[in-house]
Amino acid sequence: MTDDAIPGTGPKKGRVQSVLFMCNFNAVRSLAAEAIARHYFGKSTYVQSAGVRSGEPSDPFMIAALDEIGIDASRHKPRTIEQLEDWEGLNFDLIITLSPEAHHRALELTHTLAADVEYWPTPDPTLVQDGTRDQRLDGYRDVRDGLTYRIKSRLKG
């Protein structure tokens, strides 16, 4: 019997059936990743997102950037990893982290969860505060487009 035949000991093969996106507040990056993944793969893959901390509302710039490509995330309610765990448990094949803090927390979760963790360093577009509305929105568009490319590449069957 090879290591791959023993559950949880080898790299997972095949299609990802459930994915969790994590960032700091679940208000910008992981919100976008969840919305994009649901848009393209929601019928074939279970998708959720959560933040390490609570306190931030959904970012209207990211909602607008997603709306530009036909994805409505206006009803998204940010949640923490603890809230998600309380509501439905944490049963994911793959956790994709989008910030260093989220990656650290996801690695802690793998002490009790059998999930693969991938770190996708993703810039925080909220850090750019100057410029016109459209210039600021460009940062969100860049994050949206980068996540769209990676999600399509990673989750395709």
The per-residue pLDDT for range 81-116, each reduced to its tens digit, is 999 999 887 889 999 999 999 999 999 999 988 899
Q: pTM, whole model, 2 decimals?
A: 0.89
CA atoms within 13 A on the CB side of 132: 2
Taking only the tens place, the pLDDT of each residue in 103-151 is 999 999 999 888 999 999 999 999 988 889 999 999 999 999 999 999 9
CB atoms within 10 A of CB 143: 23
Ranges 3-7, 39-43, 50-54: which has the least confidence:
3-7
∠ CA(19), CA(23), CA(26), 5° rounding? 90
Position 14 scores a pLDDT of 66
For residues 109, 114, 115, 116, the Cα torsion angle rounded to the nearest 10 degrees is 110
**Count of all residues that appear for the chain in the document:** 157
Model confidence at 9: pLDDT above 90: no
